[in-house]
């Protein structure tokens, strides 16, 4: 059931923040949208630009450039603030600068009296979601990172292209870090309900080598895009809009967001991308897949890498 109040604040009006705002307006997800940025004029310009198309939107949305006090009664605050990934740079290399930025942003959000759900889209998203949770004091279920939602839609797109099947009929996940240690879960990937590994054997369309190449392609997609246009923003914009929609509409949708693990998959005290039930309270529960031993080993390695970064920033619990 859709909430009457659907107010969303977006912190950061760069390419990602504005793509999120544009996606939400076009899909009729929010009815109040406030844009917040250290560059107030930029936020004002983006709000005016979005308002120019309002007569073509699904519904009339109130859009304005505001400040952190406007977060007080927001249902969701989406955080995109931070330094962008540069060509040749990994997401984890952004951490030193962006961890400080996120902590400062979250402190300002919470000082407004905000009591909703935080959605973190800044990179490296898994570590910064942990940082945002620690700074906010909110329950872990109400701090949600974008996780591997974008990686997963890339994954399904690539499989669909290889098999010439609608990507919406492909079901499977990328889990773990939104980054170089992400894990393709082939053991739980299906085509029209049929296990992919069984499907490709019977149809002779893909080989094991093809699957390895496909997973590498998915992992490196962001680098390919950044090399060509300096940033990625449309895909993540639509992915964040999907998460926000699931929360505002209490969908109980299963999405591979960055969620807090407390024993699931044998891991504790970190946020990482795993299939999770997303509803009006954020992450209701984590769907723990019975992944095969090789996938579990890769997931453990990914989790350990994230944990080491968290410990290096002194964010972990004492």
Instruction: Tell me the pairing of strands 253-262 and 268-279.
Output: antiparallel
Considering the candidates 178, 188, 242, 245, report the single residue annotated as catalytic. Answer: 178
Please give the Cα distance from 142 to 122 (Å, whole number).
17
Q: Which two tokens stand for residue 38?
A: 């250290």
Among candidates 93, 122, 139, 130, which has minimal Cα distance to 267?
A: 130
Please give the Cα distance from 294 to 266 (Å, whole number).
14
Q: Which two tokens stand for residue 140?
A: 């872990």
**Prior bond of 124 cis (ω within 30°):** yes
Q: Which two tokens stand for residue 75?
A: 């249902």
Please give the Cα distance from 51 to 42 (Å, whole number).
14
Q: Distance from first CA to last CA of the chain, Å, rounded?
A: 40
Judge contact between 21 and 53, C-beta under 8 A: no
Q: Which two tokens stand for residue 170?
A: 């492909």
The torsion defined by the Cα of 105, 109, 111 and 112, in degrees rounded to 10, comes to 150
Please give the biggest Cα pair distance in the chain: 59
Among candidates 306, 293, 219, 311, which has minimal Cα distance to 267?
A: 306
The torsion defined by the Cα of 129, 135, 138 and 144, in degrees rounded to 10, comes to -10
Q: Tell me whether residue 178 is one of the annotated catalytic residues.
A: yes
Q: What is the DSSP letter of 40?
A: H
Among candidates 61, 62, 68, which has minimal Cα distance to 112?
A: 68
Q: Which residues are catalytic?
A: 178
């Amino acid at each position: 059931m859709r909430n009457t109040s659907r107010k969303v604040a977006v912190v950061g009006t760069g390419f990602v923040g504005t793509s999120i705002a544009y996606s939400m307006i076009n899909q009729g997800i929010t009815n109040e949208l406030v844009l917040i940025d250290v560059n107030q004029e930029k936020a004002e310009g983006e709000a005016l630009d979005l308002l120019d198309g309002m007569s073509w939107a699904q519904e009339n949305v109130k859009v304005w450039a505001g400040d952190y006090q406007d977060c007080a009664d927001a249902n969701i605050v989406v955080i995109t603030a931070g330094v962008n990934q540069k060509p040749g740079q990994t997401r984890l290399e952004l951490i030193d600068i962006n961890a400080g930025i996120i902590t400062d942003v979250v402190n300002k959000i919470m000082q407004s009296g905000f009591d909703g759900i935080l959605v973190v889209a800044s990179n490296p998203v898994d570590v910064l979601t942990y940082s945002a949770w620690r700074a906010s004091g909110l329950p872990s279920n109400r701090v949600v990172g974008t996780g591997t939602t974008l990686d997963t839609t890339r994954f399904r797109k690539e499989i669909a292209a290889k098999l010439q099947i609608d990507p919406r009929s492909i079901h499977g996940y990328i889990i773990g870090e939104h980054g170089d240690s992400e894990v393709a879960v082939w053991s739980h990937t299906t085509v029209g309900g049929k296990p992919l590994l069984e499907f490709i054997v019977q149809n002779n369309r893909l080989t094991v080598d093809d699957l390895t190449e496909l997973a590498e392609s998915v992992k490196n997609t962001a680098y390919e895009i950044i090399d060509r246009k300096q940033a990625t923003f449309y895909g993540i914009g639509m992915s964040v809009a999907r998460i926000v929609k699931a929360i505002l509409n209490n969908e109980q949708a299963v999405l591979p967001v960055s969620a807090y693990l407390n024993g699931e998959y044998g891991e504790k005290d970190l946020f990482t991308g795993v299939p999770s039930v997303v509803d009006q309270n954020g992450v209701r529960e984590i769907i723990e897949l019975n992944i095969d031993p090789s996938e579990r080993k890769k997931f453990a390695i990914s989790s350990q890498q994230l944990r080491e970064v968290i410990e290096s920033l002194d964010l972990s619990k004492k």
